[in-house]
Amino acid sequence: MSVQLLGILNVTPDSFSDGGLYAEQSAAVERGIAMRDEGATLVDVGGESTRPGAERIDPAEEQRRVIPVVRELVAAGVSVSVDTMNAETALAAAEAGASVINDVSGGLADPGMYRAVAETGLTYIAMHWRGHSTDMDALATYDDVVVDVREELKARLSEMIVSGVDLRRVILDPGLGFAKRPEHNWQLLGRLDELGSLGHPLLVGASRKRFLSPWGAEPAQRDEATAIVSALAANAGVWGVRVHDVASTRAALEITEAWQNGRTDS
């Protein structure tokens, strides 16, 4: 499969769809290995919930949750990304063998993040973000969401250059659900090519988010919608997708790839 498939492993007691389930370290490691076996090319380990309204946690607590899991997954041969807004956690994760830093704040939450990324030399996912979960709903105002998100990501790239980040290793993410109303998410998905024109690979994280079920399905019942959106994003040329249920999205990505191959096989 040519698209990166990030399997979400939230090691938090309060994540919005799988909170508490994998809080225990050994269960988390087992789940991470299972996701790899189901087809995840990266397991994305996160220790701080970003669901709307979630409270911040101390970086030391975040590391206590995340780092042992990263270390064990890497020892088991699993490629790991770490979902963190903290430079210190990013450095500890790199030390523990992570290959990717996934920062939902795109470097805005911690002024030391870009220097940390530059120091590790790891791949860096910079997501579009306007503020912490406690107040992000109030920040969802745009003239044209795609134009505005593109401009704000472009400004982040300029800051990264100043801090010595290798831009060849930067992946951009529109940040679906983060200071976005449902219509904003659909516009960003429908116009991914405009974000792609910044010249960086894109990651799309739609998994189980509220905009996928206007009729009110529970998070765990949004996996079909997630697989469809992920397949459409793959068809639009994204670098990767980030999902909770790896098996269903893997099937959708394989179909997308077969479809694309059909264009060139005859």
Q: Is 65 a catalytic residue?
A: no
Does residue 8 interact with ligand PMM by CB under 6 A?
Answer: yes
Does residue 106 interact with ligand PMM by CB under 6 A?
Answer: no
Does residue 98 interact with ligand PMM by CB under 6 A?
Answer: no
Q: By CB under 6 A, name the one of 15, 84, 120, 123 that touches ligand PMM.
A: 15
Does residue 50 interact with ligand PMM by CB under 6 A?
Answer: yes
Q: Is 209 a catalytic residue?
A: yes
Structure tokens at 231: 């397949």
Q: By CB under 6 A, name the one of 17, 84, 123, 185 that touches ligand PMM.
A: 17
Structure tokens at 217: 């399905």
Structure tokens at 47: 């220790």
Say if CB 115 and CB 87 are below 8 A apart.
yes
Is residue 94 classed as helix, strand or coil in its secondary structure?
helix
Say if CB 257 and CB 1 are below 8 A apart.
yes
Residue with smaller CB distance to ligand PMM, 183 or 258: 183
Number of residues near ligand PMM (by CB under 6 A): 19
Catalytic hit among 36, 71, 242, 250: 242
* 186 to 20, 133, 145, 222: CA distances (angstroms): 30, 20, 10, 16
Count how many residues are written for the chain: 266
Q: How many CA atoms lie within 13 A of 264 on its CB side?
A: 4
Quote the CA–CA distance of 171 and 102 in Å, as a whole number: 9
Does residue 10 interact with ligand PMM by CB under 6 A?
Answer: yes
Catalytic hit among 65, 71, 208, 209: 209
Footprint on this chain of ligand PMM (rule: CB under 6 A): 8, 10, 15-17, 46, 50-51, 83, 102, 104, 125, 127, 173, 175-176, 203, 205, 242
- Residues acting as catalytic residues: 209, 242
